Amino acid sequence: MTNKENRPITEILTKSFPQKDIHGSISMPVYITAAFEFETAEEMEDAFLGKNGKHTYTRISNPTVEAFEARVQAISGAKHVMAVASGMAAISGVFMTVASAGSNIVTSPHLFGNTFSLFLFTLKEFGVEARFCNLLDIKEVEKQIDENTCAVFTEIITNPHMEVVDLAALAEVSHKKGVPLIADSTIVPWTSFKAPDFGVDLEIISSTKYISGGATSIGGLILDYQTFDWTQSKRLKSLAEKVGKRAFQVKFRAEIGRNMGAAMAPQTAFLQNLGLETMDLRFRQAAKTCLELALFLKELPEIKQVNYNGLPSDPFYERGKKQFGDYPGAMLTFSLENRAACFAFINRLKIIRRATNLFDNKSLIIHPESTIYGTLSPEHKKIVEVPDHLLRLSVGLENIEDLKADILQAL
Ligand SMILES: *Cc1c(COP(=O)(O)O)cnc(C)c1O
């Protein structure tokens, strides 16, 4: 197969599971069990000390989850992959591992709603400060980083603001200051976005989105490229002196992951492993439809503005091409006259569904200001800057003509 577009699929389908199934099952067997038993006390001791690679308890590891992680690792090129219960479990788990009381995170206020809330409320109560700044301004980022900064954190395309940071520049300034760059890349899968090419040290993905294969389950992934020298980290320094670049992996696996207890369920690993097999096909189709819809929406007089990185008129178009190629996600935002016009439009839709979530096979619409950011105080709403005339559309796999007709009749 020399067709470049089909390479990622072949790559996924031909990566088999780490251990051959005893029955030769071509699908991944699902081990729905809490515990694993041993022949002898000695074997049990070795398992608990991590000496024989055997599973003990599903909160700590499970063969189905492990096979999913191994497949993600093989096709993403990460050095180590950790699958957890949700995208938020991945984000909170990462900061439970790298931050400590007195440290700060340099980030943007333009974040996924729960990530913003984690930084603004939850971590604050543990003495971790979020320094919200403009990540598009590298000089400002440099000024915000100090000796207590544990990480620079960004989303690769902010949602719903649709900004695209210059990741290589952000990585350069972070690394110069001895700080890792951590990125949430949920919006563009790794078949179109190669995080390590832009200096990202830890990549976080909500596998609920593209990977789950049509909103089948909640899950999260931490991809560790082991590019960062953790001896520069206050929290991980002493461990890094012993285990080198594996410090994050060891801290998460041996302590944080099992203590927080947000393990991925084996049933989820099965579904998401299956989702992986069609991810790139679904993604490319949805992204193509998304671009066509963005061009279509731009021409409609009722629509004030359309934001999509794949539009040549987008302020981040060139940077997006460099970072994501031709497929900068399958989500766009657009503005109508006001909040009332948005609500009326949503209420008239017949094909596009009224739901939160991204990258279902079905197209989904939401009014972010009244929902995702709805419970924020006026003061916090000002920080996140989500206007009330904005709608977010996640594009699915429906026929494009049907989607266009639905939009036209609802306007
Ligand atoms: C959905 C999402 C999350 C959270 O993922 P869950 O699986 O819902 O916990 C985090 N970041 C981004 C960009 C998301 O879209």
298 lies in the same domain as 355:
yes
Q: Which atom of ligand 1 is nearest to the CA of 218?
A: 7
Q: Is the pTM of this model over 0.85?
A: yes
304 lies in the same domain as 236:
no
Is 217 a pocket residue for ligand 1 (Cβ < 6 Å)? no
Domain-embedded: residue 16: yes
Closest residue by CA, ligand 1 atom 1: 206
Domain-embedded: residue 101: yes
Rounded to the nearest angstrom, the distance between the alpha carbon of 220 and the centre of ligand 1 is 8
113 lies in the same domain as 244:
yes
174 lies in the same domain as 135:
yes
**Does the N-terminal peptide bond of residue 368 adopt cis geometry, omega within 30 degrees of 0?**
no
Q: What pLDDT, on a 0 to 100 scale, did the predictor assign at position 5?
A: 61
Is 208 a pocket residue for ligand 1 (Cβ < 6 Å)? yes
388: number of CA atoms within 13 Å, CB side? 10
Rounded to the nearest angstrom, the distance between the alpha carbon of 364 and the centre of ligand 1 is 15
145 lies in the same domain as 231:
yes
At residue 2, does pLDDT exceed 70? Answer: no
Tokens of 20: 């051959």
269: number of CA atoms within 13 Å, CB side? 28
Rounded to the nearest angstrom, the distance between the alpha carbon of 358 and the centre of ligand 1 is 9
At residue 180, does pLDDT exceed 50? Answer: yes
Please, what is the average pLDDT of the chain?
94
Is 203 a pocket residue for ligand 1 (Cβ < 6 Å)? no
Q: How many domains does the chain have?
A: 2
Q: What pLDDT, on a 0 to 100 scale, did the predictor assign at position 177?
A: 97
Closest residue by CA, ligand 1 atom 5: 87
Domain-embedded: residue 1: no
Task: Give the tens place of pLDDT for each residue, 285-301.
Answer: 999 999 999 999 999 99
Domain boundary among 236, 268, 300: 268
Task: Give the tens place of pLDDT for each residue, 332-382.
Answer: 999 999 999 999 999 999 999 999 999 999 999 999 999 988 888 888 888
For 291, the domain range is: 280-410
In the chain, pLDDT over 70 holds for what percent of residues?
98
172 lies in the same domain as 124:
yes
Domain boundary among 268, 302, 318: 268
Is 212 a pocket residue for ligand 1 (Cβ < 6 Å)? no
Q: What pLDDT, on a 0 to 100 scale, did the predictor assign at position 1?
A: 34
301 lies in the same domain as 346:
yes
Closest residue by CA, ligand 1 atom 6: 87
- Among residues 209, 338, 339, 330, which one has the least CA distance to residue 276? 209
57 lies in the same domain as 166:
yes
261 lies in the same domain as 313:
no
Strands 305-307 and 331-335, sheet pairing: antiparallel
Tokens of 121: 């409320």
**112: pLDDT confidence band, cut at 50, 70 and 90?**
very high
**26: pLDDT confidence band, cut at 50, 70 and 90?**
confident
**4: pLDDT confidence band, cut at 50, 70 and 90?**
low
pLDDT mean over 75-104: 97
Task: Give the tens place of pLDDT for each residue, 331-345.
Answer: 999 999 999 999 999
- Among residues 50, 78, 186, 160, which one has the least CA distance to residue 389? 160
Rounded to the nearest angstrom, the distance between the alpha carbon of 120 and the centre of ligand 1 is 17
Domain-embedded: residue 3: no
305 lies in the same domain as 251:
no
333 lies in the same domain as 230:
no
Rounded to the nearest angstrom, the distance between the alpha carbon of 19 and the centre of ligand 1 is 31
At residue 386, does pLDDT exceed 90? Answer: no
SS3 at position 81: strand
Closest residue by CA, ligand 1 atom 2: 206
Domain-embedded: residue 2: no
305 lies in the same domain as 369:
yes
